[in-house]
Amino acid sequence: MAAQSMATTAATTAAARRRARAGARAGARTGARTGAVGIVAAALAVTAFAAPAQADTRGPDRTDRAATADRTDGTAAAAPERRHRATQRAMDAIVAGGIPGVTGQVRDRHGVWKGTAGVGNRETGAPRGKNDRFRIASITKTFVATVLLQLEAEGRLDLDDTVDRHLPGLVTGNGHDGTRITVRQLLSHTSGVFDFYGDEGYARKYMLAEGFLKHRYDYRSPQAAIAVAMSHPPVFAPGSDYAYSNTNYVLAALVMEKVTGDTYENQVRERIIKPLGLRSTTVPGNDSSMPRPSSRAYSKLSFDPAATTIHDATLQNASQSWADGDMISSAADLNRFHSALMRGKLLPGKQLTAMKTPSAQSVARGEDYGLGLTRVRTGCGTELFGHSGGWIGSLSYALTTEDGRHALAYNLNGDWSAAGMQELVEAEYCGTAPAAAGKRTDAGAGAGADQGPVKGPVKGPVKVFGSGRPTR
């Protein structure tokens, strides 16, 4: 969710499964592995549904007329299409694999290229829009981490402050101890705090079909998410391991609010969105609508891999993935943000270096996760930085080279398969042709995948793919 993006959770590693069998509670089994990719295979229902009566404030999709006449370096519009032919084919392959639609943008030395595939509305057949806005899920975490690193640079907090110093008494119970957990450990997912999405009751209420359709417009407070996490034991002692937990970023945003005396939403707007002119980026708070232009978002709302019913999940209260995955943006804005971040426009060198540097614990897990940012190496050796995210109805990825000059961001408006997502990254940065539809693993993440199709009953949100590495 998240991973995720929503807020997002991760598929269990073999080591985490061994720990779970040794005594961790069932929710912890789903815990802990997402790294770059915050993808929730949040999904899949057995029954058809009628959405609760509510006005659709999203409005119709709008296409970008200017995009049909792109010019780069004075060349004809066909030139960028040739340069990104493999990327377009990778988008087409994702749709051929069963996802309704894909939209994405590339910014490089030649200019801007925008691509789409498939549909943005399954009922009308309207195509995905080149300027679509979408729920970015766990890519939100990079925004949160950036603000906290800015606060450190300003001397308003120390990343090695304990959580209890800023939020006394909040992180306690079942072995959790906020006096032993630091802000840095929250941002790096080395705190050991239980991921609230791994709680079976929470998943039934907010993610599976019956609960989601009943509660999709409900407000959920950050404190409620923390309370769910505190009802479970931690997955390890603080600083001793790496395990992706969306609870970390709910806590991090609460620290932000305590230090600044301001809301998390306003801090992100004033420090990042407004200075960079991210006009398509919002922090929606207690809102269930989608801004225009956007496409519909689809989910199966089940953990059953055999489920076939697809639901329209476009409208949902963003508070249910507050600060760990609630933001809405566009591919263009995500590219602008990541490029500015890498070029030092948002952070001093010390903080940017810390953000990009993976923790030893995450490296040992094969994740290469720093502070709200992951490092990815493609099959052709290109080193990238960014994040991915998945939440109900939306899977996204945003990456850029370290100099910020070649950025890619894209979104899928279906959440039940990440097949082809890593191939799309390889296509853009290495020019490799995607595998034929149906010949990939369901994870679609090459050697970096956690697992293929989810097998058997799953007791919590499951990430489709993990390390964010297209190949090894």
Mean pLDDT of the chain: 81
What tens digit of pLDDT does each residue of 374-402 get? 999 999 999 999 999 999 999 999 999 99
Looking at the predicted structure, is the pLDDT value of residue 63 above 90? no
- Tens digit of each residue's pLDDT (9 = 90 or more) over 182-199: 999 999 999 999 999 999
**Does residue 60 register a pLDDT over 90?**
no
* Predicted pLDDT at 435: 60
Q: How confident is the model at residue 471 (pLDDT cuts 50, 70, 90)?
A: very low
Of 55-69, 183-197, 354-368, 450-464, minimum mean pLDDT range: 450-464
Catalytic residue among 5, 138, 302, 396: 138
Which residues make Cβ contacts (< 8 Å) with residue 356, sequence separation at least 6?
370, 373, 375, 385, 402
| Residue % of the chain over a pLDDT of 70 | 75
pLDDT > 80? residue 361: yes
Q: What Cα–Cα distance (Å) separates residue 251 from each residue in 36, 51, 163, 181?
A: 19, 32, 8, 11
Between CA 344 and CA 353, with CA 350 as vertex, the angle to 5 degrees is 75
What pLDDT band is residue 82 in, cutting at 50, 70 and 90?
confident
pLDDT tops 70 at residue 4: no
Q: Is the pLDDT of residue 64 over 90?
A: no
List residues bridging with 394 in a β-sheet: 391
pLDDT band at 464 (very low <50, low <70, confident <90, very high): very low
CA torsion sign for 425, 322, 132, 316 is positive
pLDDT of 57 > 80? The answer is: no
201 to 198, 223, 231, 320, 459: CA distances (angstroms)? 9, 16, 11, 14, 10
Q: Confirm whether 319 is a catalytic residue.
A: no
Cβ within 8 Å of residue 254, ≥6 positions away? 166, 167, 170, 222, 226, 264
Lowest model confidence (mean pLDDT) among 29-33, 91-95, 102-106, 428-432? 29-33
Q: Could you give the C-alpha distances from 137 to 270, 321, 396, 397, in angstroms and in order?
A: 20, 8, 8, 10
Please determine, for residue 452, whether its predicted confidence score (pLDDT) is greater than 60: no
Average pLDDT score over residue span 456-470: 29
Give the pLDDT of residue 305. 82
**Residue 349: predicted pLDDT:** 98
Q: CA dist 352 to 46, 72, 208, 257, 273, Å?
A: 46, 31, 38, 22, 18
- 24 pLDDT more than 50: no
User: In this predicted structure, what is the pLDDT of residue 78?
Assistant: 54
Whether residue 432 contacts residue 406, with contact meaning beta carbons closer than 8 Å, is answered with no
Confidence of residue 304 (pLDDT cuts 50, 70, 90): confident
316, 392 in Cβ contact below 8 A? yes
Segment 222-257, tens digit of pLDDT: 999 999 999 999 999 999 999 999 999 999 999 999
Question: How large is the average pLDDT for residues 171-175?
Answer: 96
Give pTM, 2 decimals: 0.81
pLDDT of residue 80: 66
Which helix (H) or strand (E) segment holds residue 224: the answer is helix 222-230
**pLDDT at position 210:** 92
pLDDT of residue 335 exceeding 80: yes
Indicate the pLDDT class of residue 79, thresholds 50, 70 and 90. Answer: low
